[in-house]
Amino acid sequence: MRILITGAGGMIGDRLANTLAATGRINGAVITSMTLSDLSEPKAPEADVPVRCLAADLTDEAGRAACLDPAPDLIFNLAAIVSGAAEADFDLGYRVNLVATAAFLNDIRALGTAPVVVSTSSVAAFGGDLPDIVPDTHCLTPQNSYGTQKAMAEMLLADHSRRGHLDGRCVRLPTISVRPGQPNAAASSFISGIIREPLAGEEAALPVDPSLRVWIASPDCAVATLIHAAGLPKGALGPGAVVSGRGLSVTIAEMLAALERIAGAEVAARVTPSPDPVVAGIVGGWPKAFACSLATELGFPVDESLDTIIQAHIRDSVA
């Protein structure tokens, strides 16, 4: 099986590539080659199969063509501009998250091989007046540019899948926490920062009220979710070709309490209130929890607890 990962230089893409390279298989199928692409050439994992790393811009026809030659059997399309950046730069967000996605799906259609395409969407596809627990059937009502772009990309993938151009599976991932590395431009970046920075001995700003409830999953759970989606039978996600990934519904206060429980009061005290109305407005409008009926029925993974998420981050950081 030939695998392509776009956005492979990002945290999830890199972790996915390393996971697949380490096993040499995905859902029982033998991996014969991997192509990894991003704006800057991604780092190649150690692997027993050929790994090709490309600096490729999906807004450019030549970049897309390079990614799709040779034709992959399975594509993880993770390339995107994150929420805060998409809200700050309207044109850039639409060019990358929608226009380039539409062109890429058309290029996949032109292959004539109908590969499996696993893409990611976001809780930001929902917004406005939401129930406490969002059911699988709730309509998309995004309240920011990033969520709007993701919602439209979901529908594009579903339509191409319906027409038989590809076998699409879109996963709405929870907010990922704890992300390793440096903060990014996502509006939700603080959800990792309030754990990651204090554990590293640094101060962290809290831009929202501690009572805010968020929907989160660990990096490992996100990778396992994408791999699970790739192995589902064709049509398992229904006509929308989309599923809301399983997560934990927690308040920021509960996250800080878990941090104190694991690392001590001195570490937790490194988080200081720093209200940011823009961030609070974006993240505060996202869903607080999902029913995930379909994901549960299909056996998608879920994290055990906040404590295990933080403990896994500590182990990863030490490693």
44: which 2 tokens?
């190649």
- How many residues would you count in the chain? 319
CA distances from 148 to 27, 28, 104, 125, 237 (A): 32, 36, 18, 6, 21
Report the alpha-carbon angle 136-250-319, nearest 5.
Answer: 105
**Under 8 Å CB-to-CB from 145, ≥6 apart: which residues?**
86, 87, 90, 93, 94
Mapped onto helix, strand or coil, the DSSP state of residue 250 is strand
Q: Provide CB contacts within 8 A for 23, sequence distance 6+.
A: none
What is the amino acid identity at position 237?
Answer: L
Backbone torsions φ then ψ of 215, nearest 5 degrees: -115, 115
Specify burial of residue 19 (Cβ count, 10 A radius: 0-12, 13-18, 19+): middle
Residue 146 falls in the annotated catalytic set: yes
Q: Which two tokens stand for residue 117?
A: 């395409």
195: which residues sit within 8 A by CB, 6+ positions away? 177, 178, 255, 259, 310, 313
Q: Are 142 and 187 in contact (CB under 8 A)?
A: no
CA 69, CA 65: separation in Å to the nearest integer? 6
Catalytic residue among 104, 146, 215, 290: 146
Residues 6+ away with beta carbon under 8 Å from 162: 239, 241
Query: Both tokens of residue 281?
Result: 């407005």
Q: Please give the positions annotated as active site.
A: 146
